Homo-oligomer: A and B are copies of this chain.
Amino acid sequence: MIRVGVIGYGYWGPNLARNFAESRTCELAGVSDLNPDRLAVARKRHPAVKLVTQSAELLDDPQIDAIAISTPVSTHFELAMSALRKGKHVMVEKPLTASSDQARILIEEAERRKRVLMVDHTFIYTGAVRKVKEQVSGGELGEIYYFDSVRVNLGLFQHDVDVIWDLAVHDLSIFNYLFSERPVAISATGCGHIPGRKENTAYITLFFESSLIGHVHVNWLSPVKVRQTLIGGSRKMIVYDDMQLTEKVRVYDRGVTVSDKPESVYKVLVGYRMGDIWIPHLDSTEALQTEVNHFAECIDRRTRPDSDGQAGLEVVRYLEAATQSMKERGKPVELKRARAAA
């Protein structure tokens, strides 16, 4: 059993704590939060666990093997570094860090100390995204034409990050998990409507060397909650709608056929293939449960998590590029090929 301390018991921390507590591979060994009210909530749910206001008490505890960090993004780097230096394995809530430089330093530190560094890209541990990856990896879709993701709802406005750093991180991490191709440039446009607050509406375009195009729409001001990703391929297409209770993934046997016969001015040269739709049954295990067990397994076997530091770094690089582009009304920002990926 991996003994885990959770730092930060705000919005996401309780989910981490509960999943460590219920896991067959981990044990919730401690929770820290600066806010005594939040600790009181933790005490009601986890009365037998070490509850402290100072994270140092968890970081210094030799009984604790690993630290999960769910605090504001600006504090991720310092807390994760402290944990690594104390020899702990680390899981960090998304995004991994506030800058790619910070991410690179964390990766190096974890490698030097041979500790597991994992970023909590929750969605890649869902039955839905795993089923989509099965299809993509199996070549079912053919050549990939586009990846279009919409993630909008009313709130939760973050005080320290904009909507891209809060929401688009999900779509970008899903993209990277599903596909091997990487964007060569990113552009973004966005808007903030609440005085003194960061952007709440943004559109990101991913450019590739191939004819693939990626697009992400994130918005904290939508009256309806939409979580829908369209993936178009030359042979099949997928709609992944996370708002569906169970039918989250639909595989469409649809596409276009290109004719080379000359036709009249009123006839199009492109035909349509309208086949059946298949809705696979999905593993309904809570993603975070899969994830904490994966974390424990990686610690046990000293293997790399599916969402390792490198995966976290790549997404942070996209976020940085999108932020820069947004300031210049959508001017594309080139992405140099990451050394570490070579």
Instruction: Give the interface of A toward B (CB within 8 A).
Output: 10-11, 21-22, 34-35, 38, 44, 47-48, 72, 143, 145-146, 148, 150, 152, 154-159, 185, 187, 189-195, 197, 201, 203, 205, 207, 211-213, 215, 217, 219, 221-224, 230, 232, 234, 237-239, 243, 245, 247, 250, 252-256, 258, 264-270, 272, 274-281, 329-332
Contact = CB atoms under 8 A, between A and B. Distances in A.
Contact of A252 (B155, B157, B203, B223): B223
A205 B330 contact: yes
A243 B219 CA distance: 22
21 contacts: A10-B266, A11-B266, A47-B47, A146-B221, A148-B217, A154-B254, A155-B268, A157-B256, A157-B268, A158-B268, A159-B265, A189-B205, A189-B207, A193-B232, A193-B234, A194-B256, A197-B270, A243-B245, A253-B281, A276-B280, A277-B279
Contact of A222 (B143, B190, B193, B237): B237
A194 B270 contact: yes
A154 B201 contact: no
Closest 6 CB pairs of A and B: A223-B252, A223-B237, A277-B279, A157-B270, A191-B213, A145-B193
A279 B281 contact: no
Copies assembled: 4
A223 B239 CA distance: 8
A247 B277 contact: yes
Contact of A256 (B35, B221, B230): B221
Contacts of A254: 154, 223
B329 A332 contact: yes
A278 B275 contact: no
B266 A38 contact: yes
Contact of A279 (B190, B279, B330): B279
A86 to B, nearest CB: 24
Contacts of A35: 264, 266
Given A146-B191, A194-B270, A205-B330, A221 B232 contact: yes
Nearest to A266: B10
Given A155-B272, A270-B155, A276-B281, A146 B201 contact: yes
A304 to B, nearest CB: 31
Contacts of A267: 159
Contacts of A269: 157, 159, 197
B274 A329 contact: no
Contact of A154 (B156, B203, B256): B256
